[in-house]
Amino acid sequence: AQSVTQLDSQVPVFEEAPVELRCNYSSSVSVYLFWYVQYPNQGLQLLLKYLSGSTLVKGINGFEAEFNKSQTSFHLRKPSVHISDTAEYFCAVGPQTGANNLFFGTGTRLTVIP
């Protein structure tokens, strides 16, 4: 079985400051890893994904994430946030074998303060 833990439900940060949104997962099999963003009243947009290879992945809007297998983590980072980054961010895992769906965390609400 798979589970995802997003350690912070809300993260306030000042504009142009760096941010890290934390994600830890549990799985008995190898997984694909994802970050999705949900802007107010919108759908889920894929930010970035880790399938294999380099553990540092870059996504859209200046975000990046690092896969750490030993710590079963996939934290999302951005060196300088903008007001437009205010949104809900979801970490998700997809098992490479077994289940065919994504398992989501409970989300982290990022609020960028002017």
Partner 1 sequence: DSGVTQTPKHLITATGQRVTLRCSPRSGDLSVYWYQQSLDQGLQFLIQYYNGEERAKGNILERFSAQQFPDLHSELNLSSLELGDSALYFCASSVGFKPNTIYFGEGSWLTVV
For the CB of residue 66, give the shortest distance to partner 1 in the complex, in Å. 19
Pairwise CA distance, residues 46 & 49, whole Å: 8
Closest CA to 87 of 65, 62, 112: 112
CB neighbour list of residue 53: distance below 8 Å, 6 or more residues apart: none
The string over 52-83, giving b where at least 16 C-beta atoms fall within 10 Å of a residue's C-beta and e elsewhere, is: eeeeebebeeebbbebeeeebbbbbebeebee
Query: Based on CB atoms, which residue is closest to partner 1, 70 or 100?
Result: 100
Stretch that binds partner 1, among 14-22, 29-37, 63-71, 72-80 (CB under 8 A): 29-37
Under rule CB under 8 A, residue 21 binds partner 1: no
Stretch that binds partner 1, among 19-27, 31-39, 56-64, 65-73 (CB under 8 A): 31-39
For the CB of residue 42, give the shortest distance to partner 1 in the complex, in Å. 6
Residues in contact with partner 1 by CB under 8 A are: 32, 34, 36, 42-46, 49, 51, 90, 94-96, 99-107
